[in-house]
Structure 1
Amino acid sequence: MSEHTPNPYQQQPLSGAPSPEELEAAQAANDVEALAQAQAELAALKAKSADLADQFLRAKADAENARRRAEEEVSKARKYGVESFAESLLPVADSLEAGLAIKDGSIEQIREGAEATLRQLKSALERNKVIAIDPAPGTKFDPHQHQAISVVPAEQEANTVVTVLQKGYLISERVLRPALVTVSAPK
C-alpha cells in the first residue's frame, strides 16, 4: 500500500464524536453534579437526624415527667388514701360522743342512739366498699370467706353454715376478715 492510500483497518475519527478532552469535561461535570446532589442529601439527612434527636430528647423528657408525676400521685394516694374513709367515720364518732354526753338517758334512748349510730357506721363502711360477710344458716361453707370454728351435728346438709359467731368483711371483693362460723357435720 502506498503512503497516500488510506489504510482501511486504521480507525478514523468519526465526525461528531466527542474528543477525549470533551469526554473528560463531561465526566467532570457529572462528578460535580453528583457531588452536589450527595452534599444536598447529606445536609437533608443531617437535618432529619437533628430533628429526630430533638424529638427523642423531648419524648424522653416527657416520659420522665410522666413517671415523676405518677410517683407523686402514688405517694399522695398512699398518704391520703384513708382520708375518704376517715371522713365518712366522723359522723359516727360525733354520734357516739353525743350519746355519751347524755347523763340521764333511759335504756330505750340509749338503745335508739346505739342503733342509729350502728346504721351510720354500716352506711360509712358500705360507701367505702367494706361489705359484711354474714352467711345465712344453710349456706354452703366457703373456705375463701368463712372460717370454721367447729363442726356440729345439725339437721341440714353437710358442709353448710349452722351459725355465724362473728361476721366477716370484704373490702372491694378481697377478704378483710373471714366470718367465723360453725359448720354442719357429715351424716
Structure 2
Amino acid sequence: MEKIMSEQEKNQENLENAEELTQKANDTENSAEQAEPADETASDALEEAIARVQELEEQLAETAKKEQDLLLRSRAELDNMRRRAEQDVEKAHKFALEKFSKDILNTIDNLERALATPANKEDEAVKSLFDGVELTLKELLATVARFGVEPVGAVGETFNPELHQAISMQSAEGFETNQITVVLQKGYLLNGRVIRPAMVMVAA
C-alpha cells in the first residue's frame, strides 16, 4: 500500500514537472513571438536610416558637383574677362595714334606732291629746297614707321580690295590683269590695320 502511494506521489510529481516544463515552453514561445515584431521594427528602422543616409550622400555629391561646375565656369569667365581686358589695352596702345597718324598722312602727301612738282633743279636754291623737303619726308616716314605706320600700294602690286581702292580699270601695256598700274594716293597701315586704303588704277 505504501508502495502504491509512493508510485502515485511519484506520478503526481512527474505530472507537475511536466506541466511546469510545458508552461516554461509556452512562456518561451510567447516571449519569442513578442520579440519577433520588435526585431522586425528595428530592422525596418535600420533600413530606413540607411536609405536616408544614401539619399543624403547623393544630394551631397550632386551639390559638390554643381559647386565644382560653378567654380570652373567662374574661373573660365574670369580668364575670358582678363584676356579681353588685356586685348583692349593692347589695342588701345596699338591704335591710340590712329587719328594722329591720319592727320600726319596729309603732311606726307603734301611733301610727296612737292617733290613731284617739276622744277629747275640745276638752280642751287631750288636744289637745296628740294633736298630739304626730301630729307624732311624721309625723316617723317621713318618716325611714323617706328610707331607702326607703313605705306601700301605700289605700281605692279596685285590689287587687294582690303588694302586698295580701285578708281578705275583699264587695259595697260606691260601689266597683267588686276595689277596696279597707277597709284593716285598711297595707302597706310597702322600696326597691320588699314587706316587709309590706297587709291589706285588697275589693269583690266
TM-score (norm 2): 0.48
1:77 aligns with 2:100: no
- Residue 134, structure 1, aligned to residue 153, structure 2: yes
Q: 1:135 to 1:70 in 2, by over 3 A?
A: same
1:75–1:151 CA distance, 2 compared to 1 (3 A): closer
**What is the aligned counterpart of 1:147 among 158, 162, 165?**
165
Alpha-carbon separation, structure 2, partners of 1:49 and 1:141: 61
Query: Structure 1 pair 66/153, CA: closer, same or farther in 2 (3 Å)?
Result: closer
The reply on whether 1:66 has 2:78 as its aligned counterpart is yes
Q: Deviations over 1:101-155 (max 9, x none)?
A: xxxxx634554344222211123224xxxx4222333x33333432222344531
Q: Is contact 1:168-1:179 (8 Å) kept?
A: yes
Q: Deviations over 1:139-186 (max 9, x none)?
A: 33333432222344531234422121111234565543321112235x
- Equivalences for residues 156-167 of structure 1 within 5 A: 156=174, 157-167=176-186
| Pair 146,121 (structure 1): closer, same or farther in 2 beyond 3 Å | same
Unaligned 5+ residue runs, structure 2? 1-28, 108-127
- Asked if residue 116 in structure 1 is aligned to residue 139 in structure 2, the reply is yes
Q: 1:31 to 1:60 in 2, by over 3 A?
A: same
Distance, in Å, in 2 between the alignment partners of 1:158 and 1:72 is 42
| Aligned residue type for 1:118 | L
Does 1:29 find its partner at 2:52? no
In structure 2, the residue corresponding to 1:81 is in which secondary structure? Answer: helix
Which has the larger share of helix? 2
Aligned CA distance change for structure 1 residues 67 and 164 (closer, same or farther; 3 Å): same
RMSD over aligned Cα atoms:
4.7
Normalising by structure 1, we get a TM-score of 0.51
- Structure with higher Rg: it is 2
Asked if structure 1 preserves the Cα contact closer than 8 Å seen for 2:153 and 2:163, the reply is: no
Identity in percent: 22
Contact 1:85–1:124 under 8 Å retained in 2: no
Change (3 A) 1:31 1:152: closer
CA distance, structure 1, for counterparts of residue 164 and residue 45 of structure 2: 88
What is the rounded CA distance, in whole Å, between the counterparts of 1:158 and 1:60 in structure 2?
Answer: 55
